[in-house]
Amino acid sequence: MKKIFIINGGQKFGHSGGRFNETIANASIEFFESNPNFQVKTTNINDEYNPKEEVEKFVWADVIIYHTPIWWFQLPHGFKKYIDVVFTEGHANGIYKSDGRSAENPTINYGTGGMLIGKQYMLTTSWNAPKEAFTLPGEFFNQHSVDEGPLFGFHRMNAFVGLQPIQSMHFHDIEKNANVEKDLEKYQNHLEQLFLN
């Protein structure tokens, strides 16, 4: 039985009610809970959480699924705080033991001290930016993908603690041109391909 930890990082703040990410997170929960081959634990970063219990969820899980909007090309501050607090709690306590270097040779092996080896993570993001802002020559992101551009640091963070990526999914044009029904259908297909095939 595969253990899935789903994190809704869709922070409620300002004009954002976090509704899209809540919809996607709920779709994840429903997908996995409807199949007896999965166990599910969840966190919503808008709710109170106990850092020690959150560390235990990371240690428990086979797959961590992050759902987050992107604000000003980064994670929302509430989600970033969650990661800072929980990963700090997980130092030498299940998430990472060190940065991987030794005092004898401090110039090599940085990023090899993670304790979540053998586990995987999947990322979904939602953007106001259209997909073409990443793919077309001369457009804003200079043909850098979400994963290799703005979210490069997020992926290296997960590598630092030992997690291996599985295919991300990014939702574009959520503010001006959303098609939630179509996005949910695409996401359902994405989950089926990754977890049921």
| Digit-coded pLDDT (tens) for 138-176 | 998 999 999 999 999 999 999 999 999 999 999 998 888
Average pLDDT of span 53-61:
98
Among 27, 8, 7, 5, smallest CA distance to 16 is for 8
Q: Model's pTM, two decimal places?
A: 0.94
Q: What is the pLDDT of residues 93-131, one digit of tens each?
A: 999 999 999 999 899 999 999 999 999 999 999 999 989
Q: What is the pLDDT of residues 10-49, one digit of tens each?
A: 987 776 677 899 999 999 999 999 999 999 999 999 999 9
- The pLDDT score that the predictor gives to residue 17 is 72
Between CA 24 and CA 30 the distance in angstroms is 10
- The pLDDT score that the predictor gives to residue 197 is 78
* 89 close to 115: Cβ distance less than 8 angstroms: no
CATH class of 2-195: alpha beta
* 27 close to 67: Cβ distance less than 8 angstroms: no
